[in-house]
């Protein structure tokens, strides 16, 4: 068979099948196994416009179900792939063995669970799906006491939406600042101050040690000896890649499914893309797994090309964005702790209109702008280059 089977129904999968049918004119059979009830959708609005009640959740759907039918793509929603047999080249799903010529694994990631919360049985949300977003939106109201465990992107975006809805929001962050691992203390400090100005109680270096239901609400015991009573808990402590199928099939899994820059796994007929893929990055010279909307699109395109026999590599600098209150930012590159030795903030940090640059020696390894939308071209062009001393002085 020349059938292409895609496991997963997210943005990476949606982009790959669209590109196969359009750009590459692939006419062979295509099957998409997607365990959620909806056609593939985009998640960024789930913690922004949808949570703010500005947009219906269904607007996040990439293409309507008819597109798949019209393009002869067998989109099977509500269908979970249970097993990959690489010798037989089949995927087992819904009691059937579906044969493939090539397979794309785009199973994404799921919210990391917090056993303390799960075992306590208190009302809690993990924000990953349309259903999660709609349910949380339904709860937001003036005076709702919302406790957010984890000051990551999703926790902070939800904090903003909840404050705008009038909720009383506390963010509990284990590290010294929310987002400090991604942004470093300079920029993370600016964002933390912004949330505090908007009335969020941001508690840093704070861990939850116990969770229990009481007659007044959910009691969160904190490691500083304090107590917090809330009506609802949102857990935003990160995501973990859905690698179990690949692992069981004997593919190399190490912080995601390992692939080369063409997105091929160690089995040439099997590819991986999106949040689940840990990809050899030609520019960075190391494997990279990120959980970014833009990467899901890029990977979808590269996967489609590779499946169609066209030479393509995933070599773009990572890019992501966020929107919180009236603050928007775009970030290019990838600079974790130890990847840079100084951060340069240029512009009006107090007014939150600035650019920030992460430097390793004389190389710019990452850059971002905040509320300075024209600066994105400069950010894109400078990241990955050597610092120009004249620019540094300017
Ligand atoms: P996913 O979107 O996770 O899709 C994978 C799909 O496969 C899921 O539907 C899953 O249920 C399904 N699946 C898994 N296993 C199986 C199986 N065995 N059989 C069938 N189906 C299966 N990124 C940004 O850059 N900027 C943002 O502002 C931003 N905001 C976000 C807000 C939220 C609330 C969330 C959750 C994420 C956000 N992201 C953002 C990250 C971005 O959404 C992800 O990087 C992107 O969704 C990855 O797409 P994907 O297709 O790889 O995986």
Which of 6, 37, 44 is the pocket-test mutation for ligand 1 (most atoms within 8 Å of CB)? 44
Residue minimizing CA distance to atom 37 of ligand 1: 43
**Tell me: the pLDDT tens digits for 318-347?**
999 999 999 999 999 999 999 999 999 999
- Which atom of ligand 1 lies closest to the CA of 8? 7
State whether ipTM is beyond 0.85: yes
- Which atom of ligand 1 lies closest to the CA of 244? 18
Q: Is residue 218 very low, low, confident or very high in pLDDT (cuts 50, 70, 90)?
A: very high
DSSP 150-175: --SHHHHHHHHHHHHTT-EEEEE-SS
Q: How far apart are CA 149 and CA 236, in angstroms?
A: 6
Give residue 294 CA to ligand 1 midpoint distance, Å: 11
Q: Is residue 393 very low, low, confident or very high in pLDDT (cuts 50, 70, 90)?
A: confident
From 62, 5, 75, select the one nearest 303 (Cα to Cα): 5
Strand order in the sheet with 208-214: 208-214, 217-222, 227-230
**Tell me: the pLDDT tens digits for 111-128?**
999 999 999 999 999 999
- Delineate the domains of the chain, giving CATH numbers in brackets: 4-110+239-307 (3.50.50.60), 113-235 (3.50.50.60), 326-393 (3.30.390.30)
Q: Is residue 217 very low, low, confident or very high in pLDDT (cuts 50, 70, 90)?
A: very high
Q: What is the mean pLDDT of residues 65-77?
A: 98
- Say if CB 327 and CB 194 are below 8 A apart: yes
Q: How far apart are CA 271 and CA 288, in angstroms?
A: 15
Query: Quick one: what percent of the chain has pLDDT higher than 90?
Result: 97
Residue minimizing CA distance to atom 2 of ligand 1: 10
pLDDT exceeds 90 at position 389: no
Ligand 1 binding pocket (C-beta < 6 A) is 7-13, 33-36, 43-44, 46-47, 80-81, 106-109, 127-128, 154, 242, 245, 274-275, 291-294, 296, 320-322
């Amino acid at each position: 068979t020349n059938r292409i089977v895609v496991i997963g129904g997210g943005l990476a999968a949606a982009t790959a099948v669209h590109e196969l049918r359009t750009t590459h004119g692939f006419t062979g059979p295509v099957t998409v196994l997607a365990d959620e009830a909806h056609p593939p959708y985009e998640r960024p609005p789930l913690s922004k416009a949808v949570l703010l009640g500005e947009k219906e959740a269904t607007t996040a759907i990439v293409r309507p179900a008819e597109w798949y039918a019209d393009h002869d793509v067998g989109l099977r929603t509500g269908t979970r792939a249970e097993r990959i047999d690489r010798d037989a080249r089949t995927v087992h799903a819904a009691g059937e063995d579906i044969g493939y010529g090539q397979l794309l694994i785009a199973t994404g990631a799921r919210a990391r669970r917090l056993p303390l919360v799960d075992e306590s049985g208190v009302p809690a949300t993990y924000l990953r799906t349309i259903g999660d977003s709609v349910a949380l939106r339904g709860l937001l109201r003036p005076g709702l006491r919302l406790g957010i465990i984890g000051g990551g992107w999703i926790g902070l975006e939800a904090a903003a939406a909840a404050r705008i809805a009038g909720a009383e929001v506390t963010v509990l962050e284990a590290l010294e600042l929310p987002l400090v691992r991604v942004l470093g203390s300079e920029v993370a400090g600016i964002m933390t101050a912004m949330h505090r100005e908007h009335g969020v109680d941001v508690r840093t270096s704070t861990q939850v040690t116990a969770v229990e239901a009481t007659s007044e609400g959910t009691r969160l015991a904190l490691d500083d000896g304090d107590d917090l009573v809330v009506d609802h808990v949102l857990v935003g402590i990160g995501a973990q890649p859905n690698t179990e199928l690949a692992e069981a099939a004997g593919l190399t899994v190490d912080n995601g499914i390992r692939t080369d820059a063409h997105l091929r796994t160690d089995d040439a007929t099997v590819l991986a893309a999106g949040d689940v893929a840990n990809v050899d990055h030609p520019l960075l010279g190391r494997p990279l797994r990120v959980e970014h909307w833009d990467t899901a699109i890029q990977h979808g395109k590269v996967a489609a090309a590779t499946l169609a026999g066209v030479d393509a590599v995933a070599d773009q600098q990572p890019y992501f964005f966020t929107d919180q209150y009236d603050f928007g930012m775009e970030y290019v590159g990838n600079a974790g702790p130890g990847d840079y030795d100084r951060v340069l903030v240029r512009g009006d940090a107090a007014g939150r209109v600035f650019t920030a640059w992460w430097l390793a020696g004389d190389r710019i390894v990452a850059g971002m702008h905040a509320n300075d939308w024209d600066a994105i071209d400069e950010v894109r062009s400078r990241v990955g280059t050597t610092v120009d001393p004249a620019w540094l002085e300017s």
